[in-house]
Amino acid sequence: MDLVYMNKTKSDVGILQDYSFDLAFGEDENNFELTVSSNNNVCDEDYYLYIEGTEYGGLIDSIYVDTVEREIKYKGRTWHGILNSKVIEPPASQDYYEVSGDANTILGSLITALSLGALFSASESTSGFTLSNYQFHRYVMGYDGICDMLESVGAKLKIEFNNGSAELSAVAIHDYANDELDSDHIGLKIEKIYNPVNHLVCLGQGELSQRTVVHLYCDSDGNVSTTQTITGIDEVMAVFDYPNAESVEDLTRDGTKKLKEMNNSDTIDVDLDDAYEFDIGDIIHAEDIITGIAVSRKVIKKIITINSNIVNINYKVGE
C-alpha cells in the first residue's frame, strides 16, 4: 500500500517512507494529517497524497513545522473534504437545484457544476439508481448534499482514486442485518429506547395564530405520516421549531427527517477490529444474546491511521 505524493500539476513525485497518516471523514472533519521527520520533507503546498485504488488521500492545505520534535505535519482536506468545500447552489431564478436521471450521470453533472473536473470524475457505468426531480437543500455543502441525495434511493457514495482522478460512483448501501458478524471481533454497548418521540409538532413561518403548523406521527414500525396511530399514554410529543421553512413541503420534509431521528433513538457503541471494513452509509446490526436487545445503526464516520503500511480503522455510528 504505497502512499504517493503528487505535485500541484498532478504529476507523481514519489512514494513516502516512514510516516504516520491520519484521516477522518464522514459526518464531520473530512481532513487528514501526515507526520514525517524533518529530514523527510518532500511535499509542498497544494501537493496531493493518495493511495491508488482507495478513498485515502487529499490535498495539502497547510504545513506545520515543529523544530523541537523535529517533525513536519502536512495537513489538508480529504477527497470528501474537498467536495464539502463547495456549495450546491440553486440555479439563477430557481428555488432549488433539482436533478433527475441515473445517479452516476448526476454525479458527473455535479462535478462540473462545482468546478471540480480537474480532480474528480464520475463513473461512466450505469449505477442502477434513478432519481426523479430530487431537490437538494438550498445551499447545502457538496459532500453532504451528495450523500443525502444518494441515501434517498438506498445508495452510498464510493470514492476511489485511480489514474490521477478521484472517481465518484453510486453503489448500494450494505445492510449487515442479515450478515453474521463474529462477536469476537465486535464490542457492543447498547441502549434500547421503548418510548421514543412519536408525534412531532412542526412549526414553520408566521406569528401566533397565523403560524404554519404540521403534525407528523410515527407508527409502531417507525413509518412517518400525518395519520396518528399511537395515542394516550403511549403518545410522546415534541416540538420542531423551523421558522426558516420556505413552504409546507419543506417543513414536512425536514420534520419527517427530524421525527425519524427522534423516534429511532436507540444507541449503539460499536468497537470493531480490522476483521471487517465498512463504508460510510452502511448499516451495522448488533444484538445482545443475554437480553435479546437488537439495534441497527448507520456508519457515519471513518477514522484511519496508517503507519508505514500498517492500517488501523475505527468507526463511528449514528447516535
Instruction: Report the C-alpha gap between 282 and 303 in whole angstroms.
Output: 15
CB 49 within 8 Å of CB 21: yes
Q: Which residue has the higher pLDDT, 291 or 198?
A: 198
Among 95, 91, 101, 141, residue whose Cα is nearest residue 250: 95
If asked whether residues 164 and 251 sit together in one domain, one would say no
If asked whether residues 14 and 64 sit together in one domain, one would say yes
What DSSP state is assigned to residue 29? -
Q: How far is CA 310 from CA 20, 49, 274, in A?
A: 9, 17, 11
If asked whether residues 274 and 246 sit together in one domain, one would say no
Q: Evaluate if residue 288 carries a pLDDT over 80.
A: no
What is the enclosing helix (H) or strand (E) of 251?
helix 248-263
User: pLDDT value at position 71?
Assistant: 96
Indicate the pLDDT class of residue 319, thresholds 50, 70 and 90.
low
Instruction: Report the C-alpha gap between 167 and 169 in whole angstroms.
Output: 7
Q: Which residue has the higher pLDDT, 286 or 4?
A: 4
Instruction: Report the C-alpha gap between 68 and 84 in whole angstroms.
Output: 34
Longest Cα–Cα distance in the chain: 70
Crossing angle for the helix pair 103-113 and 142-151, nearest 10 degrees? Answer: 170
**Averaged pLDDT for residues 138-166:** 96
CB 283 within 8 Å of CB 173: yes
If asked whether residues 164 and 133 sit together in one domain, one would say yes
Q: How far is CA 283 from the centre of its chain?
A: 13
User: pLDDT value at position 275?
Assistant: 62
Q: Could you report the per-residue pLDDT of 54-93, keeping only the tens digit for each?
A: 999 999 999 999 999 999 999 999 999 999 999 999 999 9
Which stretch of 133-137, 198-202, 276-280 has the lowest confidence by average pLDDT?
276-280
CB 145 within 8 Å of CB 157: no
State which of 82, 107, 127 marks the end of a domain: 82
CB 85 within 8 Å of CB 142: yes
Q: Evaluate if residue 312 carries a pLDDT over 90.
A: no
Q: Evaluate if residue 274 carries a pLDDT over 80.
A: no
Q: Evaluate if residue 37 carries a pLDDT over 90.
A: yes
In this structure, what C-alpha cell is assigned to residue 96? 432549488
Q: What is the mean pLDDT of the chain?
A: 90
State which of 47, 82, 117 marks the end of a domain: 82
Q: Evaluate if residue 184 carries a pLDDT over 60.
A: no
Q: How far is CA 138 from the centre of its chain?
A: 18
Beta sheet of 155-162, edge-to-edge order: 120-122, 165-172, 155-162
User: pLDDT value at position 273?
Assistant: 56
Q: Evaluate if residue 183 carries a pLDDT over 80.
A: no
User: pLDDT value at position 254?
Assistant: 93
Instruction: Report the C-alpha gap between 48 and 3 in whole angstroms.
Output: 10
State which of 263, 290, 306 marks the end of a domain: 263
Q: Count structural domains, the chain.
A: 4
If asked whether residues 161 and 210 sit together in one domain, one would say no
CATH of the domain at 152: 3.55.50
Instruction: Report the C-alpha gap between 231 and 193 in whole angstroms.
Output: 18
CB 144 within 8 Å of CB 110: no
If asked whether residues 182 and 145 sit together in one domain, one would say no
Q: Evaluate if residue 272 carries a pLDDT over 80.
A: no
If asked whether residues 215 and 259 sit together in one domain, one would say yes
If asked whether residues 60 and 99 sit together in one domain, one would say no
What DSSP state is assigned to residue 309? T
Residue-range definition of the domain harbouring residue 278 = 176-192+266-317
**Averaged pLDDT for residues 151-163:** 96
If asked whether residues 295 and 186 sit together in one domain, one would say yes
The Cα angle at residue 235 between residues 214 and 194, in degrees rounded to 5: 120
CB 169 within 8 Å of CB 120: no
- As a whole number of Å, the CA-based R_g of the chain is 22
CB 110 within 8 Å of CB 88: yes
Helix (H, G, I), strand (E, B) or coil at 34: strand
Q: pTM to 2 decimals?
A: 0.76
If asked whether residues 159 and 213 sit together in one domain, one would say no
**Averaged pLDDT for residues 87-102:** 95
If asked whether residues 180 and 76 sit together in one domain, one would say no
**Which residues touch 203 (CB under 8 Å, ≥6 apart)?**
211, 212, 213, 239, 240, 241, 242, 243
If asked whether residues 133 and 233 sit together in one domain, one would say no
